[in-house]
């Protein structure tokens, strides 16, 4: 069985499978104290990390230099690991069903190279039961070993917040679980090596899995409520942010704001929970209603862009719209499940030319994932409207006059769509443009 003393003495190794937004910061934290194997299936990513570059932007060159990770793409290296942490993506498919193939493939690889006595801890977001009912049988089949006798499993939901330099992995309390009391204690002790905020010992693996999916489901529903209120207030011609500012003066009012809900957590996790609920014969109502509202916000923004352009005297067919930001949230390069593409798709249905600028997103990735091109601002030219979709720090210095300089195409007033509700309405309107926000 894994020994925390042997890990600290570097006699036993920790392996992290998947070096993305979740796995890399965790591996780096462990790499400051113990021996770490960083397994990644993409050779290009390993080369970048070995050269000191993290494409996710989570770690700096200095961060990577100050940790010791043995990067590898060779599955056989996992045979050296006594404690394996799995941090692969868990996306949804085009029908909003959980796609567990990364988890299954990771389990196959680990099973084929599993050391007797090892502990495997999954961190990827799943619905209750995936670790024990889906992953464990794969591990047993591929390894020929028996769970509970030859190896043990646990679950510790990831809590990484991409782009957040304050709430880093070490400073966020970690939920841990194990298949039995002995495993739970070892898992807790391993994470306590690096998690200064402490750990919470969940009563079972299924409890820990469920805790993860409801964390983001709760946020999703709160944002859905505010988005629905924004739809109502816009029809009433009442500024949503003014209403929220007034209501927010009460001590127990939850301060959420309207917007696009994408990414690989809030916009995905609820579907894992509803999928499991439907499997056991319960049709979720509130959760799916919130998902429908949030999934429809991109289309809503696009439709209102067209309405505002018509009111401003613009000819829609052939008009040009600049979208600022493609990533799913500010100050990160991650474009997974971004809802900005919903705005793009809807505008193109109106035969509008859409130009997207994002200084953080990877142009090749944007082209591959969504078939969209990214433009430098110098190549945009004049447009009829600007949609401020993502509030990157790089956009903070853009003034009303900057927007006015772009919005000089053809007849009619320029239109500024402030999805993030961060621009100054008075300044935009004084500059001769039409302003709209959620």
Quick: pLDDT tens for 354-411: 999 999 999 999 999 999 999 999 999 999 999 999 999 999 989 999 999 999 887 8
Q: Is 135 a catalytic residue?
A: no
CA distance 382 to 409: 5
With tokens 């509803």, the residue in question is 274
Place 1 in a pLDDT band, splitting at 50, 70 and 90: confident
pLDDT digits (tens, 9 = 90+) for 221-243: 999 999 999 999 999 999 999 99
How would you list the strands of the sheet with 36-39, edge to edge?
69-72, 36-39, 13-17, 81-86, 119-122, 152-155, 174-178, 199-201
State how far the Cα of 433 lies from the Cα of 401, in Å rounded to an integer: 10
Sign of the dihedral defined by the CA atoms of residues 131, 133, 135, 136, in that order: positive
Average pLDDT, the chain: 95
- β-pairing, 69-72 vs 36-39, is parallel
Q: Give the pLDDT of residue 168.
A: 86
CA–CA gap between residue 344 and residue 354 (Å, rounded)? 7
Helices (H), 113-261: 130, 136-143, 181-192, 205-235, 240-247
Q: List phi, psi (to 5°) of 414.
A: -70, 155
Tokens of 312: 């401003």
Band (pLDDT 50/70/90 cuts) for residue 263 is confident
Residue 14 belongs to what H/E stretch? Answer: strand 13-17
What pLDDT is stored for residue 380 in this prediction? 94
At 134, is the secondary structure helix, strand, or coil?
helix
Determine the Cα–Cα distance for residues 227 and 258; give it in Å rounded to an integer.
Answer: 5
Cα distance between the two ends of the chain: 55
Q: What pLDDT shows up at residue 410?
A: 75
Confidence at residue 162, expressed as pLDDT on a 0 to 100 scale: 81
Supply the DSSP string of 69-90, one letter for each residue: EEEE--GGGGGGEEEEEE----
Q: Which two tokens stand for residue 418?
A: 């402030």
The 3-class secondary structure across 392-426, one letter per residue, is CHHHCCCCHHHHHHHCCCCCCCCEEEECCCCCCHH
Helix, strand, or coil (residue 311): helix
pLDDT tens track for 118-139: 999 999 999 999 999 999 999 9
CA distance 211 to 197: 18
Q: What is the pLDDT of residues 37-66, one digit of tens each?
A: 999 999 999 999 999 999 988 999 999 999
Evaluate if pTM is beyond 0.85.
yes
- Cα distance between residue 254 and residue 247, in whole Å: 9
């Amino acid at each position: 069985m894994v020994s925390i003393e042997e890990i600290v003495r570097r006699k036993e190794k920790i392996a992290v499978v998947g070096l993305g937004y979740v796995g890399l910061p965790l591996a780096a934290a462990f790499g400051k104290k113990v021996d770490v194997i960083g397994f990644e299936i993409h050779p290009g990513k390993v080369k970048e990390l070995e050269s000191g570059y993290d494409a996710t932007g989570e770690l700096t060159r200095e961060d990577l230099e100050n940790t010791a990770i043995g990067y590898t793409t060779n599955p056989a290296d996992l045979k050296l690991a006594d404690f394996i942490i799995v941090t692969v993506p868990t996306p949804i498919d085009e029908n909003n069903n959980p796609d567990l193939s990364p988890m299954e493939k990771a389990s196959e690889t680990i099973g084929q190279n599993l050391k007797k006595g090892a502990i495997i801890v999954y961190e990827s977001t799943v619905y209750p039961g995936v670790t024990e009912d889906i992953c464990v049988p794969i591990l047993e089949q591929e390894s020929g070993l028996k769970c509970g006798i030859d190896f043990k499993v646990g679950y510790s939901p990831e809590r990484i917040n991409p782009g957040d330099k304050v709430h880093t992995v070490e400073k966020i309390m970690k939920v841990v679980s194990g298949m039995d009391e002995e495993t739970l204690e070892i898992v807790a002790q391993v994470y306590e090596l690096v998690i200064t905020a402490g750990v919470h010992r969940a009563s079972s693996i299924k409890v820990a899995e469920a805790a993860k999916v409801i964390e983001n489901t709760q946020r999703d529903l709160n944002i859905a409520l505010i988005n629905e209120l924004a739809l109502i207030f816009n029809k009433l011609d009442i500024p949503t942010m003014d209403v929220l500012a007034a209501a927010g003066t009460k001590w127990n009012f939850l301060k959420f704001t309207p917007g696009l809900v994408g990414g690989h957590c809030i916009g995905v996790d609820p579907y894992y929970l509803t999928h499991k609920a439907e499997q056991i014969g319960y049709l979720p109502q509130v959760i799916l209603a919130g998902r429908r509202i949030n999934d429809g916000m991109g289309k809503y923004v696009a439709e209102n862009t067209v309405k505002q352009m018509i009111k401003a005297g613009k000819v829609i067919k052939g008009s040009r719209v600049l979208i600022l930001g493609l990533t799913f949230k500010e100050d990160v390069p991650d474009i997974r499940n971004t809802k900005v593409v919903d705005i793009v798709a809807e505008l193109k249905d109106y035969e509008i030319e859409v130009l997207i600028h994002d200084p953080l997103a990877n142009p090749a990735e944007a082209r591959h994932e969504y078939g969209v091109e990214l433009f430098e601002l110098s190549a945009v030219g004049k447009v009829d409207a600007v949609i401020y979709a993502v509030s990157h720090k790089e956009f903070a210095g853009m003034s009303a006059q900057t927007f006015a300089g772009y919005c000089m195409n053809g007849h009619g007033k320029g239109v500024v769509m402030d999805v993030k509700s961060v621009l100054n309405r008075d300044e935009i309107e004084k500059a001769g443009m039409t302003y709209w926000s959620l």
